[in-house]
Amino acid sequence: MQKAVSEMIAKDPLTSLFLVDIGVWAFRDLLVGYPRRVKNIGIFEPGTISIAAGLSLSGITPIVYGISPFIVQRALEQLKLDFVYQKTGGNFITTGASYDFSTLGYSHYCPEDVMTLKTLPGFEVLTPATPGQFTCLFKACAKNGVPSYFRMTDYCNKNEVHIDFGKAKLMKQGKMGTVAVWAEMLDAVIGACSNLDVSILYFTSAVPFDYEALRSYMDKKLVLCHPFYEGTFSDDIQKLGWNSDICEIAVPKKVLRTYGTKGDKDIELSLTPEAIKNRIQNFLIQP
Count residues near other proteins (CB under 8 A).
29
CB of 60 to other proteins, least distance (A): 5
19-78 binders of other proteins (CB under 8 A)? 36-37, 41-42, 44, 46-48, 50-60, 62, 77-78
Exactly one of 81, 104, 218, 267 binds other proteins (CB under 8 A); that residue is 81
Q: Which residue lies nearer to other proteins by CB, 85 or 259?
A: 85
Q: Which residue lies nearer to other proteins by CB, 74 or 262?
A: 74
Burial 242-269 (b: 16+ CB within 10 A, else e): eeeeebbbbbeeeebeeeeebeebbeeb
Q: Which residue lies nearer to other proteins by CB, 53 or 206?
A: 53
CB of 179 to other proteins, least distance (A): 41
213-232 binders of other proteins (CB under 8 A)? none
CB of 46 to other proteins, least distance (A): 5
Q: Which residue lies nearer to other proteins by CB, 56 or 232?
A: 56
CB of 184 to other proteins, least distance (A): 33
201: phi then psi, degrees, rounded to nearest 5 = -110, 125
Residue 15, CA atoms < 13 Å, CB-side half-sphere: 19
92: phi then psi, degrees, rounded to nearest 5 = -125, 105
Cβ-contact 53, 82 below 8 angstroms: yes
CB of 219 to other proteins, least distance (A): 43
Q: Which residue lies nearer to other proteins by CB, 58 or 234?
A: 58
Cβ atoms within 10 Å of 95's Cβ, excluding its own: 19
108-147 binders of other proteins (CB under 8 A)? none
Q: Which residue lies nearer to other proteins by CB, 41 or 201?
A: 41
Longest Cα pair distance anywhere in the chain, in angstroms?
Answer: 63
CB of 51 to other proteins, least distance (A): 4
CB of 50 to other proteins, least distance (A): 3
Q: Which residue lies nearer to other proteins by CB, 36 or 257?
A: 36
CB of 86 to other proteins, least distance (A): 6
Q: Which residue lies nearer to other proteins by CB, 64 or 156?
A: 64
Nearest-CA neighbor of 100 among 152, 149, 181, 154? 154
Site string for other proteins, 84-103 (x = CB under 8 A): -xxx----------------
Binding residues for other proteins, per CB under 8 A? 14, 16, 36-37, 41-42, 44, 46-48, 50-60, 62, 77-78, 81-82, 85-87
